[in-house]
């Protein structure tokens, strides 16, 4: 714990304090000053200087909300407001969020803390905050209409409860929920254990992020809020690869990653190079007897998963959602498959009509990553991200776990590309290729097929060989 | 018979002779007439109207035609070519000359009548000579000449009107021919896109990426586009042949004809409504014709009134009687007057008819003036609307389409849309261009119709509704 305090940078240094201008200063006087964030970089962990000590988390491309202690109560101030979030370099989205960003800041408290959260609504419509997964008085659960009146525009409401159980939580609106979540209103909540918990291990690095998805037409800025499943931007903390920061660790660090899913589909999250244990779910830490080593864990809709592993393999390890189209980004689902289609002559003809036309997809979609052609304004490219050996051909829910033996404890700076020891990178074989020995008696007539058609059907495989098509 | 009487008679005959001589001198000068017409229709003919009668004129005309055909024929060139080359225009001029000569005839005196009698009575031989002419003819000659001049002037105006009509037809045919050619070019491009799409769809099916239905869906565009191309081709031929006929081209000349690829750009500013005011109404030829008719009706009124009542013939008589028995020769002179007696017909019907005709002419003039200004307003509206629509196409719809096309290429680049969507959008863009060409055509047709309306005769202009700018979703996907 103490050594972790050494990388403390302090709340004042990591946040830009800006008073919320449109809410009356008199009304604000009694409130903790809201802290707003103007950029989307991953912040160093916020080590507590007041209240009970705990081991802070790192929010991927995010930050933790500072608080003030008021007569033993931890006071936070969330401001619900429209924000502009840079989802990847050069691609900005007009979202709704909290305190300048979407998702909002992570709230970190300690088991048993009395927490008071001021929520100021600067949205054009009413809102509420639901504290997803918490044990709390019914009137604090944040379902507008059911537990409380919705917070009108321009008003500030107060939530107050005791963080009763340690674990991983989320917060999000429960008023006009579909719109507000489609617009990016959500945040993370961590309740750290007060005392050493038998099922909660100490870790060296504790990362958190939310899975979220948007539907923003290429060239537009605002998400389409009516979309049900056909989202085109799959993001972690509203960032898309290559805009997502890597998860940087020191070799042999014990690492915890907490993932919450606020999209409308499940995400099989997959880590390369290591096996992990699922040590916690929505309900808290899992019993040890239920834990098994895995390399992929499915995070279903509205769920949270907490995985832990020992980062004992150096390198740059891919870490991503295993639904491959979630690692592609904005793409046209109606684009026909062009693989194997000979474009000669036709392409020339089309170029006459559409001068900027280039053949794409004839050999697959890797063209996309290679060509770098102009896209509509404010469009995240589909498959991109330059690695040390070329394009990573990824987008969306994709990042890397970077394990380095010389990474200092508490240092989250990107160490650059991994320098592979000689002879440890796949290479081209230039020698002779011997004929493979093949098993020669496949099939046979030991079990002849019954009821065959009178004539044997010949399966014709048409190979997409260029230049030999009769037309 | 006294000497003074004789003197009177001879004086009268001298006047008659002089009148005959004078009347004979005033013939129609067609060259002057054409110069006048060129002056009156300057914006239309640019002074190039000419009737060729001599070999030299013929050659000059054919040289001009050849020069014009050697280059790309602009709208004004087309007018010049028609004036120089079209047999129809020459027919018009010759016919007009004939009409004017006819009108001129009315301003002349009827030839005097000479009668000779030879009669024998016993020993007497009588030779009677009578030179007679219509006295009224002579007395009304100045008046009739004036009417005749009016009729010639009328024929001139009529000629100008016909020239303007002819020129307007040439201009409009030129506009149609160029537009049809332009439309054909774009129909060819649509067809090209459709063909590329169909070919690609065929290849898609061959490698198994498309099923039959998907391929057929793309193929059907090509099939449609081919049919449209064929009819565009015919429409272009029809328009070109209409122009060929109006230019009066021979087959060899028709083969030489070269039209520009595009209709002219729109004028920077449209004509303002004040330019096309009531002042223009007075200059209009149909108004002038009606006024001439009214004037002539007024003049002939008095004349015909006399004619309807009296008809006086005067004759100079000189008889000689030879008496064989007496061996004498007795001359006898005198004059003869013949007067038609208004007993049965006091001329009331004729006067009624004349009155009615004058009344009709007055009303016709009034109605022409009124109609002219209304018709001019309509022509201006057609002109202005066509201008605004064409400008709207140029400044709004086509650029929007272009922007959409550019955005779609970007979307294609990002694999957000496929090549079939890209091509379908391209087809839509071309359709908008065709609609824009149509709008330009409408403008130039309206422009020539308005010009004709302002100086010439009313030329009606039916505006066709503008085609949709393709606001709907792109078809074909």
Q: Is residue A432 packed enough to be buried (19+ CB in 10 Å), middle (13-18) or exposed (0-12)?
A: exposed
**Torsion over CA: A68, A69, A71, A77 (sign):** positive
- pTM exceeding 0.90: no
**Minimal CA separation from B417 to chain A, in Å:** 5
- End-to-end Cα spacing for chain A: 74
Q: Which residues pair with A148 in a beta bridge?
A: A144
**Minimal CA separation from B237 to chain A, in Å:** 25
Query: Is residue A266 scored above 60 in pLDDT?
Result: yes
- Could you say which residues of chain B have pLDDT below 50? 1-3, 24-25, 469-477
C-alpha span between B403 and B181 (Å, rounded): 26
Least CB-CB distance to B411: which of A218, A338, A354? A218
Check residue A444 and give its pLDDT: 55
Which region among A97-106, A161-170, A323-332 has the lowest average model confidence (pLDDT)?
Answer: A323-332
Q: Which residue has the higher pLDDT, A245 or A367?
A: A245
Q: Which residue has the higher pLDDT, A27 or B72?
A: B72
Looking only at the bridges linking them, the beta strands covering A68-70 and A73-88 are: antiparallel
List, in order, residues 6 or more apart from A250 with CB less than 8 Å away. A204, A205, A311, A403, A404, A405, A407, A408, A409, A411
Q: How many residues does chain A have?
A: 471
**Minimal CA separation from B465 to chain A, in Å:** 28
Query: Is residue A36 scored above 60 in pLDDT?
Result: yes
Which region among A372-376, A457-461, B366-370 has the lowest average model confidence (pLDDT)?
Answer: A457-461
Check residue A126 and give its pLDDT: 97
CA neighbours closer than 13 Å in the CB half-sphere of residue A269: 28
DSSP B394: I
Which residues of chain A does B193 touch, with a Cβ-Cβ cutoff of 8 Å? 350, 353
Which residues of chain B does A464 touch, with a Cβ-Cβ cutoff of 8 Å? 207
Q: Where are the alpha helices (DSSP H) in B310-418?
A: 348-392, 398-413
Contact (CB<8Å) A469/B405: no
Q: What is residue B296's three-state secondary structure?
A: helix
Report which of B71, B120, B116 is spatially closest to residue B324, judged by C-alpha positions. Answer: B120
User: Chain B: which residues have CB within 8 Å of chain A?
Assistant: 189, 192-193, 195-196, 199-200, 202-204, 206-210, 214, 405, 407, 409-423, 426, 477
**Minimal CA separation from A236 to chain B, in Å:** 22
Least CB-CB distance to A357: which of B195, B409, B411? B409
C-alpha span between B453 and B463 (Å, rounded): 16
- The count of other CB atoms within 10 Å of the CB of residue B166 is 22
> How does residue A18 score in pLDDT terms, banded at 50, 70 and 90?
very low
Give the 3-state secondary structure percentages of chain A, helix then strand then coil, rounded to 5.
10, 35, 55
Check residue A439 and give its pLDDT: 63
Check residue B48 and give its pLDDT: 76
How many percent of chain A have pLDDT more than 70? 85
C-alpha span between A144 and A127 (Å, rounded): 8
Between A and B, how many residue pairs show a Cβ–Cβ distance under 8 A? 119
- Asked if A330 has any chain B CB less than 8 Å from its own CB, the reply is yes
Check residue A271 and give its pLDDT: 98
Interface test with B, best of A215, A219, A344, A346 (most B CBs within 10 A): A346
Q: Is B327 left (phi over 0), alpha (psi -120 to 50) or beta?
A: left
- The count of other CB atoms within 10 Å of the CB of residue A288 is 10
**Minimal CA separation from A352 to chain B, in Å:** 9
Interface test with B, best of A219, A335, A359, A361 (most B CBs within 10 A): A335
Query: Is residue A9 scored above 50 in pLDDT?
Result: no
pLDDT digit string (tens) for A217-237?
A: 988 999 999 998 889 999 999
Check residue B341 and give its pLDDT: 75
Report which of B92, B286, B276 is spatially closest to residue B170, judged by C-alpha positions. Answer: B92
C-alpha span between A306 and A301 (Å, rounded): 15
Report which of B159, B168, B80 is spatially closest to residue B453, judged by C-alpha positions. Answer: B168
Report which of A234, A238, A256 is spatially closest to residue A247, judged by C-alpha positions. Answer: A256
List, in order, residues 6 or more apart from B436 with CB less than 8 Å away. B390, B393, B394, B397, B398
Which pair of structure tokens corresponds to residue B243? 């122009």
Contact (CB<8Å) B209/A341: yes
Which pair of structure tokens corresponds to residue A255? 């690492």
Contact (CB<8Å) B413/A373: yes
C-alpha span between B289 and A417 (Å, rounded): 95
Interface test with B, best of A344, A361, A376 (most B CBs within 10 A): A376
Greatest mean pLDDT among A244-258, A434-448, B109-123, B460-474 lies in A244-258
> How does residue A416 score in pLDDT terms, banded at 50, 70 and 90?
very high
Check residue A19 and give its pLDDT: 38
B421: closest chain A residue by CA: A335
C-alpha span between B38 and B164 (Å, rounded): 10
Contact (CB<8Å) A375/B413: yes
Q: Are the C-beta atoms of B452 and B164 separated by less than 8 Å?
A: yes
C-alpha span between A359 and A339 (Å, rounded): 11
Check residue B7 and give its pLDDT: 59
Which region among A64-68, A157-161, B341-345 has the lowest average model confidence (pLDDT)?
Answer: B341-345
Q: Are the C-beta atoms of A63 and A52 separated by less than 8 Å?
A: no
Check residue B160 and give its pLDDT: 83
Report which of B377, B365, B361 is spatially closest to residue B288, judged by C-alpha positions. Answer: B365
Check residue A90 and give its pLDDT: 87
Check residue B321 and give its pLDDT: 86
Check residue B175 and give its pLDDT: 96
A366: closest chain B residue by CA: B415
Q: Are the C-beta atoms of A265 and A302 separated by less than 8 Å?
A: no
CA neighbours closer than 13 Å in the CB half-sphere of residue A189: 27
Which residues of chain B does A471 touch, with a Cβ-Cβ cutoff of 8 Å? 199, 202-203, 206
Contact (CB<8Å) A471/B409: no
> How does residue A463 score in pLDDT terms, banded at 50, 70 and 90?
low
Looking only at the bridges linking them, the beta strands covering A107-110 and A187-192 are: parallel
B410: closest chain A residue by CA: A375
Check residue A327 and give its pLDDT: 92
**Minimal CA separation from A397 to chain B, in Å:** 18
Check residue A469 and give its pLDDT: 41
C-alpha span between A193 and B295 (Å, rounded): 116
Which pair of structure tokens corresponds to residue B163? 């020239």
Which residues of chain A does B196 touch, with a Cβ-Cβ cutoff of 8 Å? 346, 349-350, 353
**Minimal CA separation from B214 to chain A, in Å:** 10
Contact (CB<8Å) B411/A352: no
Contact (CB<8Å) B207/A376: no
pLDDT digit string (tens) for A286-316?
A: 999 999 999 999 999 999 999 999 999 999 9
Which pair of structure tokens corresponds to residue A82? 């429209």
- Asked if A387 has any chain B CB less than 8 Å from its own CB, the reply is no
Contact (CB<8Å) A469/B412: no
> How does residue A267 score in pLDDT terms, banded at 50, 70 and 90?
very high
**Minimal CA separation from B424 to chain A, in Å:** 11
Q: Are the C-beta atoms of A206 and A259 separated by less than 8 Å?
A: no
Report which of B262, B257, B266 is spatially closest to residue B73, judged by C-alpha positions. Answer: B257
Contact (CB<8Å) B413/A358: yes
- Asked if A146 has any chain B CB less than 8 Å from its own CB, the reply is no
Q: Are the C-beta atoms of A126 and A157 separated by less than 8 Å?
A: no
Contact (CB<8Å) B199/A346: yes
Check residue B26 and give its pLDDT: 58
C-alpha span between B260 and B248 (Å, rounded): 19
DSSP B418: -
Which region among A96-100, A115-119, A273-277, A373-377 has the lowest average model confidence (pLDDT)?
Answer: A373-377
Which residues of chain B does A381 touch, with a Cβ-Cβ cutoff of 8 Å? 414
Which region among A60-64, A374-378, A454-458, B385-389 has the lowest average model confidence (pLDDT)?
Answer: A454-458
Check residue A14 and give its pLDDT: 37
pLDDT digit string (tens) for A191-222?
A: 999 999 999 999 999 999 999 999 999 889 99
Whole-angstrom CA distances from B305 to B105, B139, B151, B292, B301 are 21, 14, 19, 20, 6
Q: What does the angle CA B296 – CA B302 – CA B304 come to, to the nearest 5 degrees?
A: 85
Contact (CB<8Å) B422/A360: no
Query: Is residue A275 scored above 60 in pLDDT?
Result: yes
Q: Are the C-beta atoms of A52 and A110 separated by less than 8 Å?
A: yes
Q: Are the C-beta atoms of A211 and A188 separated by less than 8 Å?
A: no
Check residue A452 and give its pLDDT: 63
Contact (CB<8Å) A371/B413: yes
Which residues of chain A does B209 touch, with a Cβ-Cβ cutoff of 8 Å? 336-341
Q: Are the C-beta atoms of B306 and B299 separated by less than 8 Å?
A: no
């Amino acid at each position: 714990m103490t050594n972790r305090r050494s990388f403390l940078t302090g709340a004042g240094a990591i946040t830009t304090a800006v008073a919320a201008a449109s809410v009356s200063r008199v009304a604000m006087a009694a409130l903790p000053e809201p802290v707003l964030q103007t950029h989307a970089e991953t912040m160093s962990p916020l080590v507590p200087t007041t209240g009970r000590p705990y081991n802070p988390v790192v929010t991927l491309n995010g930050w933790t909300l500072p608080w003030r202690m008021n007569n033993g109560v931890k006071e936070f101030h969330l401001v619900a407001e429209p924000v502009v979030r840079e989802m990847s370099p050069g691609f900005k989205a007009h979202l709704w969020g909290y305190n300048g960003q979407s998702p909002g800041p992570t709230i970190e408290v300690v088991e048993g803390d009395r927490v008071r959260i001021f929520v100021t609504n600067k949205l054009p419509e009413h809102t509420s905050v639901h504290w997803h997964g918490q044990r709390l008085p019914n009137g604090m659960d944040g379902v507008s209409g059911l537990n409380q009146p919705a917070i009108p525009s321009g008003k500030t409401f107060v939530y107050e409860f005791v963080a009763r159980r340690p674990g991983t939580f989320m917060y999000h609106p429960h008023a006009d929920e579909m719109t507000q979540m489609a617009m990016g209103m959500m945040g993370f909540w961590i309740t750290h254990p007060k005392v050493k918990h038998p099922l909660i291990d100490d870790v060296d690095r504790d990362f958190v992020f939310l899975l979220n998805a948007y539907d923003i037409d290429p060239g537009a800025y605002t998400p389409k809020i009516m979309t049900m499943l056909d989202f085109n931007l799959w993001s972690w903390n509203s960032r898309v690869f290559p805009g997502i920061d890597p998860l940087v660790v020191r070799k042999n660090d014990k690492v915890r990653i907490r993932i919450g899913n606020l999209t409308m589909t499940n995400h099989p999250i997959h880590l390369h190079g290591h096996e992990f244990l699922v040590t916690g779910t929505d309900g808290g830490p899992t019993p040890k007897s239920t834990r098994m080593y895995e390399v992929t864990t499915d995070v279903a809709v509205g769920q949270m998963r907490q995985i832990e592993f020992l980062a004992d393999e150096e390198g740059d390890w891919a870490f991503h959602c295993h639904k491959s189209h979630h690692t592609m980004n904005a793409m046209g689902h109606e684009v026909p498959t062009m693989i194997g289609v000979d474009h000669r002559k036709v392409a020339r003809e089309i170029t006459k009509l559409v001068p900027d036309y280039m053949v794409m997809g004839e050999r697959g979609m890797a063209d996309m990553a290679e060509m770098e052609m102009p896209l509509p304004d404010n469009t995240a490219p589909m498959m991109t991200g330059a690695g040390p050996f070329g394009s990573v051909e990824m987008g969306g829910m994709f990042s890397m776990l970077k394990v380095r033996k010389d990474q200092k404890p508490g240092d989250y700076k990107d160490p650059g590309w991994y320098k592979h020891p000689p002879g440890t990178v796949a290479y081209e074989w230039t020698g002779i290729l011997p004929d493979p020995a093949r098993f020669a008696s496949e099939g046979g007539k030991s079990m002849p097929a019954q009821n065959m058609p009178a004539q044997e059907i010949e399966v014709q495989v048409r190979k997409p060989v260029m230049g030999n098509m009769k037309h | 018979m006294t000497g003074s009487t004789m003197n009177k008679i001879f004086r009268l005959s001298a006047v008659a002779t002089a009148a005959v001589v004078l009347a004979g001198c005033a013939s129609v000068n067609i060259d002057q007439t054409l110069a006048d017409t060129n002056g009156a229709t300057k914006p239309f003919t640019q002074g190039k109207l000419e009737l060729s009668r001599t070999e030299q004129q013929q050659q000059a005309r054919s040289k001009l035609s050849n020069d014009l055909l050697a280059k790309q024929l602009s709208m004004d060139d087309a007018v010049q070519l028609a004036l120089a080359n079209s047999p129809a225009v020459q027919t018009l001029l010759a016919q007009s000359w004939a009409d004017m000569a006819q009108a001129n005839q009315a301003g002349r005196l009827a030839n005097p009548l000479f009668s000779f009698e030879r009669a024998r009575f016993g020993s007497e031989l009588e030779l009677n000579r009578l030179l007679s002419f219509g006295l009224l003819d002579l007395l009304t000659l100045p008046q009739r000449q004036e009417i005749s001049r009016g009729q010639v002037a009328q024929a001139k105006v009529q000629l100008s009107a016909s020239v303007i009509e002819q020129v307007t037809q040439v201009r409009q045919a030129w506009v149609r021919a160029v537009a049809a050619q332009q439309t054909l070019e774009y129909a060819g491009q649509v067809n090209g896109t459709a063909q590329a799409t169909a070919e690609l769809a065929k290849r898609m099916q061959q490698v198994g990426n498309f099923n039959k239905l998907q391929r057929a869906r793309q193929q059907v565009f090509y099939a449609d586009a081919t049919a449209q191309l064929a009819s565009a081709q015919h429409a272009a031929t029809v328009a070109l042949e209409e122009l060929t006929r109006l230019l009066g081209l021979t087959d060899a000349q028709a083969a030489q004809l070269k039209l520009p690829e595009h209709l002219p750009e729109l004028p920077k500013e449209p004509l303002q409504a004040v330019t096309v005011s009531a002042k223009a109404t007075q200059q209009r030829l149909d108004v002038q014709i009606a006024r001439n008719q009214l004037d002539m009706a007024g003049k002939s009124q008095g004349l015909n009134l006399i004619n309807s009542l009296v008809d006086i013939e005067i004759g100079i008589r000189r008889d000689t009687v030879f008496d064989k028995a007496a061996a004498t020769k007795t001359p006898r002179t005198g004059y003869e007057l013949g007067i038609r007696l208004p007993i049965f017909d006091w001329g009331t019907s004729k006067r009624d008819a004349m009155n009615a005709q004058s009344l009709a002419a007055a009303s016709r003039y009034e109605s022409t003036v009124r109609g002219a200004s209304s018709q001019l307003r309509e022509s201006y509206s057609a002109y202005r609307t066509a201008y605004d629509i064409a400008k709207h196409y140029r400044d709004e719809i086509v650029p929007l389409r272009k922007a959409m096309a550019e955005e779609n290429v970007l979307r294609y680049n990002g694999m957000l849309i496929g090549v079939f969507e890209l091509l379908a959008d391209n087809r839509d863009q071309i359709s908008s261009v065709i609609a824009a060409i149509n709008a330009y055509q409408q403008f130039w047709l309206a422009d020539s119709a308005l010009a004709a309306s302002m100086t010439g005769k009313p030329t009606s202009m039916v505006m066709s509704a503008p085609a949709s700018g393709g606001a709907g979703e792109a078809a074909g996907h």
